[in-house]
Amino acid sequence: MSDPILEMRGVSKSFFGIRALRSVDLTVHAGEIHALMGENGAGKSTLMKILSGAYRPDPGGEIRIEGRPVRIEGPLGGRAAGISIIYQELSLAPNLSVAENIYLGREMSRSGLLARGAMRLGVGPILARLGADFLPSTPVAQLSMGQRQLVEIARALHARSKILIMDEPTTALSAGESERLFALIRQLRAEGLAIIYISHRMDEICALGDRVTVLRDGRLVGSLDKAEIRADTIVRLMVGRDVSTFYKKDHDPAAGRGHVVLTATGLADGRRVRGCSLTVHAGEVVGLAGLIGAGRTELAHLIIGASPKTAGHIEIEGRPIDIRTPGEALDAGIAYLTEDRRSLGLFLDMSCLDNINLAVLGRDAKLGCILDRDTARDRASKAFTALGIRAANVGVSAGVLSGGNQQKVLLSRLLATTPKVLILDEPTRGVDVGAKSEIYSIIDNLAKSGTAILVISSDLPEIIGICDRVIVMRAGQIAGQMERTAASPLSQEDIMALATGMEHAHA
């Protein structure tokens, strides 16, 4: 392998006396995809912000680029050193054109006026090289998330970057957009660019990574070469325990499954969902699997009244019930965790305390109209302890928490209503490995307490790891189901056979 393009040696960082990084080393070569992994709070973002110039490291460490020591002063210093970072929340100006975004901060001008024509000509070759299907003059507001990601990469290449840092680049992308991005990343690697890739998605790391460096609690805990990259090895390094403890499943579905709590019969919406029926028992975790577009979320929306149904009916504990809104579903004992916690679930500028108590304010109110802040604070504090929510206090805004802690705040709100049925839509999307394990433990404990749980997930290892029974959807219908037994464990192959309609599929 060639000489390293980047060497970080003994890099540390403290914030108000708290050590966020402790003497971390990182070596990256040109023409490699180097994955950087770790739980939220492990130090990944801090290390990358030091490299890109957003943070100044503590004295004593050293950064070398192409063998020469460098002192990176501010983001402009990072750019001058050949380093570009693409954050998870893209930093484009939607009101400007593609060309204006790429030149932002380095605009071309003539006689004091922006030379828009020259800038469009200047970015044309780079957009062509990336295979862009939009023009330099296109306003960024008109682009999809995948196209905006392309603009960020074009901006990095236009600045002649040698090192490209990508932070969770596929979070907001469709499956097709992600595949196109992966092809582009491999192309950039072949052209000699060094790519530092941060992701919680193990399949991406295994498919793309040439090497993996893992941080835990601000320390370097290991680096793996291509031949050593395996999901269980990475998880063990990240969480400090064996992968066999990852999926928490102490409840016994055979002994613990109780009466039927939720019955949905013949549900249809006239569009995607066609005649779907299912049951969920008390103390049971049922998975709802299927390919993207199979109608899983749409079915959940029919159950909770978020979408109007054209056919079918729902029963709770044998009693027919007419649910027309999510509020009525909550009153009936059905709680739903949305797959989009930031846009549809949490109020990011409100405190954790208010987010947790939102659904039960009326129940707590004194004389029916006076907020009971003491009860609300007590409930939020107990939720912080029970679910292991990591924040300074319950008054912290939900928007500043990590993805896993945001998910647990949202779960706390639902659990405050003491639901009989809990529907979880992609419950661990965008959260780190440690938080996933904690959420699995919460699900297991709820099942042990008798809650009926329906889990919608695109992560097949997750479905197999936590579910007692799996219902598979295909093209808006129930394609079949399978149950975990001692003699017949659940398998990804059987689930995919049903999901794709392969002839040898069996329920």
What's at 275, amino acid-wise? G
Q: What class, spelled out in words, does domain 4-241 have in CATH?
A: alpha beta
Q: How many CB atoms lie within 10 A of CB 258?
A: 11
Q: What confidence tier does 89 reach under pLDDT thresholds 50, 70, 90?
A: low
Half-sphere exposure of 121 (CA within 13 A, CB side): 5
Most confident range (mean pLDDT) of 253-257, 450-454, 465-469 is: 450-454
Spell out the domain ranges in the chain. Answer: 4-241, 246-333+419-507, 344-417
What share of the chain in percent tops pLDDT 70? 93
| C-alpha–C-alpha distance, residues 121 and 99, integer Å | 9
pLDDT in tens, 283-327: 999 999 987 778 999 999 999 999 999 999 999 999 999 999 999
Q: What confidence tier does 506 reach under pLDDT thresholds 50, 70, 90?
A: very low
Residue 504: the pLDDT is 41
- Backbone torsion region of residue 220, taken as left when φ is above 0, otherwise alpha when ψ lies between -120 and 50, otherwise beta: beta
User: CATH homologous superfamily for 246-333+419-507?
Assistant: P-loop containing nucleotide triphosphate hydrolases (3.40.50.300)
Whether residue 28 has pLDDT greater than 50: yes
Whether residue 200 has pLDDT greater than 80: no
Residue 403 and residue 40 in contact, taking contact as beta carbons nearer than 8 Å: yes
Length of the chain, please? 507
DSSP 225-294: EGGG--HHHHHHHHHSS-GGGSS---S-HHHH--SEEEEEEEEE-SSS--SEEEEEETT-EEEEE--TTS
DSSP structure class, residue 345:
I
pLDDT in tens, 343-357: 777 888 899 999 998
CATH topology match: 4-241 vs 246-333+419-507: yes
Torsion of CA 239, 244, 247, 250, to 10 degrees: -120
From residue 5, alpha-carbon distances to 24, 102, 130 in Å are: 17, 25, 23
Residue 216: the pLDDT is 87
Q: What confidence tier does 76 reach under pLDDT thresholds 50, 70, 90?
A: confident
pTM (two decimals)? 0.62
